[in-house]
Amino acid sequence: MRVISLLSTKGGAGKTSLSTHLAIKAGQEGKVVALIDIDPQGSLSEWHKSRNADTPLLAKCTASDLPDVLQECRENDIDFVIIDNAPHSSEQALKAAKLSDFALIPTRPTILDLRAVESSLNIVKQAKCKHAVVLSACPPPRGFGESAVVTDARRILISDYGVLIWDKCVVQRAAYQYSLIDGQGVTEYEPDSKAAAEIDALWIWIQGLLK
């Protein structure tokens, strides 16, 4: 069983959205996936209620309950667990990171978001958890290549923090949000879309890091 934490100390980074889309993608590949919602806001749980399917599995709990919930997942032959962490809660995020094989830190490419990445990196380093950053909610490219804002954000993250970062990005696309309305992932909602292709590529990259 592999445990992945979506972690960011800043709200609005895209943790919950990416948790859902990645879980659906893994499930489409035949993996048994469990989502764990430790965010008191419960957005992931609300999405799951609107879903017309029994998979992925979902558990809502506190960070203190994570060891027991993860043990139950192991006993039930879960392939992947994806944890949606709460923002503004370093203590909970640290507990989750310590129990995870990998932490994915999403961030928007704005200066305030980029500055907030440092606190998330401090958490995963303290937990000694393998980690990487993904740029999310990015402006679409104009012409060839990615937006200059995205290129600059990637350069800053590498130069200032030396962090491993996905060489692509998750673009701000309507399909991501529309898919969530009916409890879907974007690879279900529009499987041939650019958004779905981004999730496909991100999931392949994450699996490579987990080997």
Residues 14-53: pLDDT tens digits?
999 999 999 999 999 999 999 999 999 999 999 999 999 9
| Residue 103 backbone phi and psi in degrees, to 5 | -120, 130
* CATH value at residue 33: 3.40.50.300
pLDDT, tens only, 127-148: 999 999 999 999 998 777 889 9
pLDDT of residue 89: 76
pLDDT, tens only, 197-206: 999 999 999 9
pLDDT of residue 22: 98
Alpha-carbon separation of residue 32 from 98, 133, 188, 204, 208 (angstroms): 22, 25, 17, 16, 18
What's the one-letter identity of residue 184? Q
- Number of domains comprising the chain: 1
What is this structure's pTM?
0.96
Domain that holds residue 23: 2-210
| Residue 76 backbone phi and psi in degrees, to 5 | -105, 20
Mean pLDDT of all residues in 84-98: 90
Give the span between the Cα atoms of 187 and 163, in whole angstroms: 28
